[in-house]
């Protein structure tokens, strides 16, 4: 009996060491946007973002503040975001961010961010006000290192196969966005 209890204690202790923390949020109005901003504010070194749609002013402003605090931020968006009027891509480019656009023929429909290689934000939640206030969305914040490593590898692939923004830092078109998107060129800087 004593051995059985020791075995159970050992098993539970081992399991708890491997158990990872996962935070779960839902929208509408379930705190998804607040959770994203809180993670951005915690960043000390890096933020890598692969996002289909980024139009949240509050999230964009949190990213600008993080960059001002010397956090290195890389962003890959769907190529439609370069010309979408509600997108914050132009705002971020204007603040000196290196924003890139997916070159594939399908949508770059990923929705994830990696904070300092220690925290993963993922789920169906687009970084938009509509996703926060109206849509049925989900958001997970995961700290599992093996899972994060897989997402880091995918982000590096997306980053290396995407093109730069066609605007320079003054917002002047180096090449028209339609030209870059149509011919899948590395336009811009």
Q: Which residues contact 76 (CB under 8 A, 6 or more apart)?
A: 49, 50, 51, 99, 100, 101, 102, 108, 110, 155, 158, 159, 162
- Specify burial of residue 45 (Cβ count, 10 A radius: 0-12, 13-18, 19+): exposed
pLDDT given at position 5: 58
Q: Identify the band that residue 62 occupies on the pLDDT scale cut at 50, 70 and 90.
A: very high
In the predicted structure, residue 120 carries a pLDDT above the cut 50: yes
Query: Could you read off the pLDDT of 92-110 as tens digits, one per residue?
Result: 999 999 999 998 888 999 9
> Are residues 120 and 141 in contact, defined by beta-carbon separation less than 8 angstroms?
yes
Look at 46 and 3; give whichever has higher pLDDT.
46
Mean pLDDT of the region 38-56: 97
Look at 167 and 82; give whichever has higher pLDDT.
82
Q: Could you list the active site residues?
A: 109, 111, 116
pLDDT given at position 94: 92
Q: How far apart are CA 80 and CA 133, in angstroms?
A: 23
Q: What is the pTM of this model?
A: 0.80
Q: How far apart are CA 48 and CA 186, in angstroms?
A: 20
User: To the nearest whole number, what is the mean pLDDT of the chain?
Assistant: 85
State what percent of residues in the chain have pLDDT above 90: 65
């Amino acid at each position: 009996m004593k051995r059985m209890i020791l075995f159970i204690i050992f098993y539970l202790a081992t399991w708890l060491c491997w158990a990872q923390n996962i935070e779960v949020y839902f929208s509408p109005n379930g705190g998804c946007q607040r959770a994203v901003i809180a993670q951005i504010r915690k960043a000390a070194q890096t933020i890598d973002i692969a996002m289909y749609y980024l139009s949240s002013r509050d999230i964009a402003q949190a990213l600008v503040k993080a960059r001002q605090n010397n956090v290195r931020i890389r962003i890959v968006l769907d190529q439609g975001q370069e010309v979408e009027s509600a997108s914050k891509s132009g705002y971020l480019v204007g603040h000196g961010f290196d924003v890139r656009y997916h070159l594939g023929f399908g949508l770059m429909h990923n929705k994830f961010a990696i904070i300092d290689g220690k925290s993963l934000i993922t789920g169906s939640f687009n970084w938009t006000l509509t996703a926060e206030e109206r849509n049925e969305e989900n958001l997970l914040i995961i700290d599992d290192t093996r899972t994060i490593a897989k997402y880091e590898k995918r982000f590096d692939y997306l980053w290396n196969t995407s093109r730069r923004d066609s605007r320079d830092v003054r917002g002047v078109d180096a090449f028209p966005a339609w030209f870059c998107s149509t011919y899948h060129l590395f336009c811009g800087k």
